[in-house]
Chain A
Amino acid sequence: NAGVTQTPKFRVLKTGQSMTLLCAQDMNHEYMYWYRQDPGMGLRLIHYSVGEGTTAKGEVPDGYNVSRLKKQNFLLGLESAAPSQTSVYFCASSSGAYNEQFFGPGTRLTVL
């Protein structure tokens, strides 16, 4: 079992460029999440999904879109990157509400 994997591990963008981060899990989990972590802070929820074909906004959703076309994958998109989106992005999954969340290794994104 690979658990939760994220692609890519690192990325540098110029302001205004777009990109998609891919999260994949092989634990057959229903719930998936995208968080961001800024320096010296804990993680904050961007968007989440409670099942295939569903998405919902978290605490800091502005500037991001997500899609969950397959149960095992959760995509995070930035349509027009801004320097304020420089951060480390973590994906997580769980088997349901109030169950343990398992995290991927993170993607370090820099927007110049």
Chain B
Amino acid sequence: AQKITQTQPGMFVQEKEAVTLDCTYDTSDPSYGLFWYKQPSSGEMIFLIYQGSYDQQNATEGRYSLNFQKARKSANLVISASQLGDSAMYFCAMSPFRDFGNEKLTFGTGTRLTIIP
């Protein structure tokens, strides 16, 4: 069984500051993928970033980076230079990395991020 823990129900951050959203995970699978999704108030799920457990380097996508610490089982999302449009719910998720890919996501409960002008 897999478990994702997001301990920050809500965060308020000043515009243009960097923000770190915490995510820890637990799994018995030897290989897995870690994901972050953004859910704005409109409700859609927007993929942000992916990290494979075998990746040696931390994933980056524009202003998003994933601080992956395998020994600590953490996969924190870092958003640099936050913008008002970053206000949303953020979900951390993981999936076992079987032969064929990532079809079974386990999600955390999310962190609601509010950017203050």
Answer whether A and B are interacting partners. no
